[in-house]
Amino acid sequence: MTSHREATEPRLSDYDEKNVGIEQIDGLPAPTTSTRPATPRRHFQVARRFILFSLLTFLALNQFTKLLSGGVSSSDTSFYNDQTEVGGYWRGVATKGLRYAVPRFDTANIGGEHHHDHDRHHHGHEHRHLPGHTSIPPKVAEKIFLDVPNNQSVSEALRRYTSYAHPAGSGWDFVSAVNLKNEWEQALGLRSSGPEEHLYDAGSHESQQRIKGGMDKMGVWIDTYYPVMNKPVHASVTLLTDPPFHAKLREDILPGDEDSQLRDEVPVFHGLSVSGDVSGKYVYAGYGRKQDFDLLQEKGIDFTGKIVLVKYGACFRGLKIKAAQEAGAVGVIIFTDPEEDGESTEENGYKPYPEGPARQPSSVQRGSVQFISKYPGDPSTPGEPAYKNATRLEGGNQPSIPSLPMSYEDVIPLLKALEGKGIHAGDLGKDWVGGLGFHGVDYFVGPSEADLHLVNDVNTRVIPIWNTMAVIPGHITDEVVIFGNHRDAWVLGASDPNSGTASQYEIVRGLGALLKKGWKPLRTIVLASWDAEEYGLIGSTEWAEDFGEWLQENAVVYLNMDSSASGSNFHASASPSLANLLKSAAQQVESSLDSSRSVYSTKYDAGSWEAWQLEKAGSLTGDYDVWAAEKGSGVGPLGSGSDFTPFLQRFGIASSDMGYGGGPKDPVYHYHSIYDSFTWQQKYGDVGFHRHTDAAKVMGLVLLRAADSIILPLNTTQYGQDLAYYLEKVEDIAKDSKLESKIDLSSLSKAIDSVRGASTNLDIERHAALEKLRELLPRPGHLKGSFFGNIHSWCNAEAHKDKALASMQVWDDSKEQVEESALVAPPQLPHLPRLPSPGKVKDIKAVLKEIRGINKKLQYFESGFLSEKGIKDREWYRHKGTAPGLWLGYGATTFPALTEAFTIDHDPALAQKEAEELTDLISKMAQRLSA
């Protein structure tokens, strides 16, 4: 763990090249004002001044000659015109301090965790700017970056983003896209463009060229896609008793939360629900999981023609409706039960929001009911981008029966009307009894005596959405690091997603600060503000489907941040190859709430949901992976539910997700409610906005390390260890299913062993390559500027003061520049370092070519899990290593096709077939690592 002060406050005298130069100039004798007769000393001073004048004249003439020749010397031209596959690596190493650009210790960490030598990174003498040119080695870049994110700035950004409702496809959503475009332009040092500038239709020449031909030019733009979505028109729920009960279906305006006045900006409804007007008896079905419906049907409950009441929790809301319609139901109401609120309940003596941390009784959870485990994105264009003129299909991932969300305040009369009817919920298990006993509810299954009338009227149509995008060009343009957050919210979104949007803005400001100092990343960075995530990951999925081939060739990692702060517990999930990178960054950033602790150590500050549920109900109702915390890296696998999904599970890009979430001891987070507001965030969610800032620092370090490390910080050895665990879980499932004797997994086990062995060997290769490169690159002492060189640097310091972005070309929408970008002469860096001899440069490039080969193996490792046929019955998902569980939606199922052959199909022959395909995929991955 690094001291926050030391990690964020570099000594300018150590790291500023102008100070280095001035110190050496100040070593000259001070001028004299004596009027005494000439002496030998005076003659010496005259001679010294003459020499200095001659030198300055020479330098001026030299600069004038360079200007006449276009500003690029022959050595510079050779440096920039190297178009070999390692040219970008060489330019990156040379301009990041040569040997300073290479870590002292092996970041591959043979067979273990990923360790950055963080203390040395921030304290050692090797981290100074190099004399004579603008050099920002990776660890110095981290110091500069960490000094930027701060609580005041992030809170102001969140206030801006949550001052109006901005659901996907609304006018305010478009305003938020344009505003963010301008904010990013300003932060990155670009001209602020107008609302119609750099605004492209997806599929247009401009949009396509911006990605496929524009990775070498900085800029910010907006891509417009055209998915099918719905907007609420009218909703009602009436219990047909005498007198009838009419559900309010509306959240309250609260005196202590002025933001709640915007409650009607997004009425209570479900995204991608269907219109319907249905009546019938109703039944309570617990969490509404597939197994809950199966259990009730075994007990004799007939769902045909009935409306079902189910609690939020345990699985994705859309899959509750899928299970209900498959059971024969005609409508579904999903209600929020305080059982899911942990310790902060009225039953435990806490007042409801805003007077206290307990749930506001009228709070409603909006949300999409898309069948996300079948496929995400636009329902009408599965596997294809939703262009304006797209050919559309009937959506296959939406419900066919209407549904509505409901507050616990509204559902209490409905549950009370079931009392004494049918099976007592407690007879079915502890998790069937909710938390409304304090309000006089005794949970029964029913069916009811009275009918329930449900109306859901929505307008479903093609609606435009807007992804705001940015590129920061690196020295290498075919290795791209992508960092995304979604911007759209169900109402105000102070936690989901705009805490993440505000943290992302702090990261963009940090990158801008680096750019203004002359930094350029080794790899190209793409920033994304996705739209319509709330409807079903639409903005990210359509973009990924649009550029899928480009992604598979060029993307090295996708880093995701959805909500950065909704509680006290730090959490992270990732591809196993990224797990230790996230973990080490979180261990090295100091918690701004407690300087004696790291961010990573706050994982259970508000308690563990797993432990809380086990104590309360005796079993886990959610999608928790306890092993990841107990045995593995501490970073769990990815399922779905956020924008990493298309990158990882369709295109095989190593991905991650992180932020702070709530624990059972935290104030209740009003998810997808009007009360997910700035007021709640300021008063209960993240008092002081410390976690917003800490999340920005952790993600910023991960981003910088992915972009600037000579060898990609992807740990395939950790991946191999996790694959062994995945197999262990499958073996336990086979044993529990009594199918253990009917399947042979020995070949799969051998394939996993071969990956582990190949990865260990690759670790040795990468370590050796780094050591070889360090030996070839000049030592720090060899790069000290000469007397004349330092004079030259000092004289030119002011000239380059305002030209820190000189190494960046900026995108121009003019047709000529788009088509003729290859003809534009490469720009000159402010200060080119004195390079090694041509012979040594040749040797260095040979090692860099070797490193390039290692990086390509690491980059494409994840895609080895992709199956052309995809997963059975949901072919959009192609990753055979991890996917959202078919009946979980958000939660990860590892070795999904193999696992579900046991748990869902109960078919040993299918399981054997899936095991053989996994064996083939993993064996080929081992071969590629060893090639």
676 and 533: one domain?
Answer: yes
Asked if residue 23 is part of any domain, the answer here is: no
Asked if residue 175 is part of any domain, the answer here is: yes
550 and 454: one domain?
Answer: no
354 and 480: one domain?
Answer: no
For the segment 378-404, the average pLDDT, to the nearest whole number, is: 94
Q: For position 615, what pLDDT does the model report?
A: 81
Domain final residue, candidates 462, 484, 517: 462
467 and 532: one domain?
Answer: yes
Q: For position 14, what pLDDT does the model report?
A: 36
Tens of pLDDT along 291-331?
999 999 999 999 999 999 999 999 999 999 999 999 999 99
532 and 570: one domain?
Answer: yes
Whether residue 481 contacts residue 526, with contact meaning beta carbons closer than 8 Å, is answered with yes
**Sole residue written with tokens 């055209």:** 226
**E strands within 531-617?**
555-560, 569-574
**CATH code where residue 601 lies:** 3.40.630.10
Asked if residue 884 is part of any domain, the answer here is: no
For the segment 528-556, the average pLDDT, to the nearest whole number, is: 98
Whether residue 695 contacts residue 503, with contact meaning beta carbons closer than 8 Å, is answered with yes
Asked if residue 196 is part of any domain, the answer here is: yes
Residue 679, CB-side half-sphere exposure with 13 Å CA sphere? 18
Q: For position 391, what pLDDT does the model report?
A: 95
Q: How confident is the model at residue 835 (pLDDT cuts 50, 70, 90)?
A: confident
Q: How confident is the model at residue 689 (pLDDT cuts 50, 70, 90)?
A: very high
Tens of pLDDT along 16-43?
333 333 233 233 333 333 344 455 566 6
pTM: 0.88
The residue range of the domain holding 414 is: 229-252+264-462
Lowest mean pLDDT among 104-108, 214-218, 325-329, 547-551: 104-108
Query: Does 795 score more than 70 pLDDT?
Result: no
Asked if residue 371 is part of any domain, the answer here is: yes
Domain final residue, candidates 695, 710, 725: 710
Query: Does 72 score more than 50 pLDDT?
Result: no
Q: For position 42, what pLDDT does the model report?
A: 65
510 and 432: one domain?
Answer: no
**Sole residue written with tokens 């001659």:** 54
Asked if residue 123 is part of any domain, the answer here is: no
364 and 312: one domain?
Answer: yes
Q: For position 425, what pLDDT does the model report?
A: 98
Domain final residue, candidates 462, 489, 504: 462
446 and 556: one domain?
Answer: no
- Report the alpha-carbon distance of residue 581 to residue 577 in Å, rounded: 8
Q: For position 102, what pLDDT does the model report?
A: 85
Buried b (16+ CB within 10 A) or exposed e, 589-604: bbbbbeeeebbbebbb
Tens of pLDDT along 116-142?
444 433 333 333 443 334 578 999 999
Q: Name the nearest CA neighbour of 902 among 914, 891, 892.
A: 914
Asked if residue 656 is part of any domain, the answer here is: yes
467 and 590: one domain?
Answer: yes
473 and 550: one domain?
Answer: yes
Whether residue 370 contacts residue 272, with contact meaning beta carbons closer than 8 Å, is answered with yes
User: How much is the mean pLDDT over the chain?
Assistant: 86
Helix-then-strand count for the chain, H and E: 30, 21
Domains in the chain, number = 2
Catalytic residues: 533, 746, 879
For the segment 840-853, the average pLDDT, to the nearest whole number, is: 94
Asked if residue 473 is part of any domain, the answer here is: yes
Buried b (16+ CB within 10 A) or exposed e, 843-872: ebbebbebbbebbbbbbbbbbbbbbeebbb
**CATH code where residue 359 lies:** 3.50.30.30
602 and 474: one domain?
Answer: yes
666 and 602: one domain?
Answer: yes
CB count, 10 Å around CB of 753?
Answer: 15
